[in-house]
Amino acid sequence: MAHRIAVIAGDGIGTEVMPEGIRALEAAAKRFNIPLEFTTFEFGSCDYYLEHGSMLPDDWFEQLKGFDALFYGAVGWPDKVPDHISLWGSLLQFRRRFDQYINLRPCKLMPGIKSPLAGREPGDIDFYVVRENTEGEYSSIGGKMFEGTEREIVLQETVMSRTGIDRVLKYAFDLAQTRPRKKLTSATKSNGISITMPYWDERVAEMANSYPEIAVDKFHIDILTANFVLHPDWFDVVVGSNLFGDILSDLGPACTGTIGIAPSANINPEGNFPSLFEPVHGSAPDIAGKGIANPIGQIWSGAMMLEHLGYQEAGEAMVTAIEAVLSDGNSQALTRDIGGQGSTESLGKAIAERIGAH
């Protein structure tokens, strides 16, 4: 039976990189004989909101829950719809309602791409950010008081549960076990955030007892961002709360030359609900409509989706094809963010051809 994939392209460059993601997946499906069936949904975009007054239809959960995976582009167009409305009305609902509590975001310096960090070569930057994806600083608990007066107050609570922390830590420690360096770094801020973050540290220390072979360290988020730039080679698996993980997963890819290549997997490890695969980047209104967005983040997310569906070899072949095209360094194929003069389509086609040509 075919694997059923729900496709939601969203806004801006989401709609431009999505066809290249699908092109690459179709090439892999053909080569490895994988039955994939794509179903496209129009909801989850700001244009849908302007027409319907909400980002998603009332029955979105019922419509999507039976799919094997969601393949997602990017959402947001702040000139049309305020970001907190478009994102809380779509992506953040998927992550929560489908209990995708892991956000797995690889950061890898690829061959042929120049790191903005002097002297860094492929191999120097190769780590995962494991981001808690359903609670933490992204909470809907809070509100405004004394609105319109000088005493106006806004509050938004951070929510950290023992279950919520332990499950993301367990995933990160298990991932570190599979890596040659067996190293885990925790992002904290227990010097300033004096209740939730010391608790996070306690749970890390407790979990570390069950993984004696893993080398564990922790940094406060401020110096951790500095160390990403100064010593990216120190990191192997980096685990953080929802907000810290968000920040680190733009900074990490920036250190690898461009956020345009960064993929992510929003995973419900139990498989009770579909997982969601999307590039780390957003809808990039500044370059949307020009056909110059880098499609690699979308394509690599497709590779993570195939691995999640059990096709390890096919996923790896997609990443190998990305690396091969980058190594070739044909500037007619590559997009501008990585030094080329090509387009979203030229790069997508080059990668799809390479996936097919083996």
Let me know: does 108 contact 125? Beta carbons within 8 Å.
yes
Closest separation in Å from C-beta 282 to ligand IPM: 6
Site string for Mn ion, 198-237 (x = CB under 5 A): ----------------------------------------
- Choices 75-83, 106-114, 127-135, 204-212; region in contact with ligand NAD by CB under 6 A: 75-83
- Choices 128-136, 143-151, 290-298, 321-329; region in contact with ligand NAD by CB under 6 A: 290-298
Choose which of 280, 303, 305, 350 interacts with ligand IPM (CB under 6 A): 280
Q: Does 246 bind Mn ion (CB under 5 A)?
A: yes
Q: Pick from 298, 278, 310: which is nearest to 32 by CA?
A: 310
Residue with tokens 């360096």: 181
Burial of 25 (0-12, 13-18, 19+ CB in 10 A): buried
- Choices 56-64, 231-239, 277-285, 348-356; region in contact with ligand NAD by CB under 6 A: 277-285
User: Which of the residues 314 through 343 are near ligand NAD (CB under 6 A)?
Assistant: 337
User: Which of the residues 232 through 251 are near ligand IPM (CB under 6 A)?
Assistant: 246
Dig out the tokens for 234 from the structure.
């120190």
Let me know: does 346 contact 18? Beta carbons within 8 Å.
no
Let me know: does 307 contact 336? Beta carbons within 8 Å.
no
Closest separation in Å from C-beta 213 to ligand NAD: 35
Closest separation in Å from C-beta 290 to ligand NAD: 10
* 236 vs 278, beta carbon nearer ligand NAD: 278
Choose which of 55, 75, 214, 325 interacts with ligand NAD (CB under 6 A): 75
Rounded to the nearest 5°, which phi and psi values hold at 239?
Answer: -115, 135
Q: Indicate the residue type of 50.
A: L
Choose which of 4, 19, 26, 87 interacts with ligand IPM (CB under 6 A): 87
Report which residue's Cβ sits closest to Mn ion: 246
Find the helix packing angle between 344-356 and 312-328, rounded to 10°.
Answer: 120
* 73 vs 282, beta carbon nearer ligand IPM: 282
- The torsion angle over the Cα atoms of residues 194, 196, 199 and 200, rounded to 10 degrees, is -120
Site string for ligand NAD, 24-43 (x = CB under 6 A): --------------------
Rounded to the nearest 5°, which phi and psi values hold at 289?
Answer: 90, -5
Contact residues: ligand IPM, CB under 6 A: 87, 246, 280, 282
